[in-house]
Structures are given as C-alpha cells and as structure tokens.
Chain A
C-alpha cells in the first residue's frame, strides 16, 4: 500500500535556529501534500496545502514566513520552521495524495522540541 515517510521522527533544537522536516511519498507520485500540526491531546490542525511546483496555500492564522514549505518534486515536500521558539514545539504530521483523490496516507510525524 501507499507509504509516506517523514524524517526526522523527533528533533530537539535551540531557540532561534531553523529546522527542516521532510515528507516523502515512497511508492506513488504525490501531487498534493498536506502539513498538519498537533498539540498534546488535541486534534490535527491543517497548516498548509502544497502542490508540486507551486506555492503552498496556508490556512488562516499560519505564518507563511515562519513555516516555509517547498514541494519541488512529486515525491518530496519539506517544512522548515524558521527561527524556532518554544511555542513552536509540537507534533508535525504530513500527508500525501495523488491525482486520483484516493484516501490519504500519513507520515509517522515529527516531534519538535525547541529549548
């Protein structure tokens, strides 16, 4: 079945540094990838939608200059948290879909801790 790989699975960084998270579709071409954020014991909040070769569409309230998304190929999207602060600590999860609009599959998530 469809597999989405997310890397790293966890990262600890110092305040003010930037962190890049990768999301790869391993056995299909992901024309669209989605980035979610999940706070402890809460649901997933959609941050942005990225389409291969074009700019990402951000949800209301999500700072595009803070969360940089690049979807340069049909198998890779990256999320960069720039100048991270402790309040950015969260669980970030990506999902990917192909042009058939078949059900999405999710990565295993990245737990970011900013100290």
Chain B
C-alpha cells in the first residue's frame, strides 16, 4: 500500500473544528509534518511533531500522534474560510529529511 494515506476531502462549517487524519508506515520517522498548500502556491509548514511526542498544540492547531497505530491527526479549532486549502501529511523516510507525502486532504470551509 501507499506509504502515507489521507482522506481526500473534508467539508466543515465555519467556526467548527476540523480533524484531518493520516496514517504512515515508517516507524523510524523522526518527524511527522503537516503542510498547507493554497491554490497555485508552494507548501507552508504548519506544524510538526517529534516522534517521541504524543501531542503538540500551537494556537488553533493540535497534532496527535499514535505511534503504535502509526496514526497522525491535525485538529484545527474554530475553522475559518482562510483555512480552506489542501493539507498534506508527511513522514520523514529513514528518519531524516527525505519526506514522503500523502495525497493531501482538501478542506472546504462553508458558512
């Protein structure tokens, strides 16, 4: 199967929380990442989590890591229309900076 898997689409109402899920395969990944991509733009590093952590919170963003199940999630609190974008989960293959990306989750925020 694919190295990194994500659901392709998520629709939420403005003000609600969004949860984007990801599963990965490389248990030696040092970091796991979440990137945001807006149309026609490059990737913006949103947040990352070190593999020995379970949770990381940064303002509206909360990352949860279940290393046993190789499951990563990104929660966006109080989702705004400006959060509409594609969100990529990535694992660092072999423990370093060679990133393998999921297919991306398109987040649509509606009023």
Contacts and interface: CB of A to CB of B under 8 A. Distances in A.
Contacts of B96: 101
Interface stretch (B13-21, B34-42, B77-85): B34-42
A95 B88 CA distance: 15
Contacts of B42: 6, 93, 106-109
B48 A103 contact: yes
23 contacts: A6-B42, A34-B99, A43-B88, A43-B102, A44-B43, A49-B98, A93-B43, A95-B43, A97-B97, A101-B30, A101-B97, A103-B31, A103-B45, A103-B48, A104-B33, A104-B45, A104-B97, A106-B43, A106-B44, A107-B42, A108-B41, A109-B42, A111-B40
Contacts of B43: 44, 93, 95, 106, 109
A32 interface: yes
B103 interface: yes
Given A42-B103, A46-B98, A93-B43, 11 more contacts: A43-B101, A49-B98, A95-B43, A97-B97, A103-B33, A103-B48, A104-B33, A107-B42, A108-B41, A109-B41, A109-B42
Interface of B: 30-31, 33, 35, 40-45, 48, 88, 96-104
Contacts of B101: 43-44
A46 B103 contact: no
Interface of A: 6, 32, 34, 42-44, 46, 49, 93, 95, 97, 101, 103-109, 111
Nearest to A93: B42
Given A43-B102, A44-B88, A105 B97 contact: no
Contacts of A97: 97
Nearest to B35: A106
Given A43-B104, A108-B41, A32 B97 contact: yes
A42 B10 CA distance: 16
Nearest to A107: B42
A34 B98 contact: yes
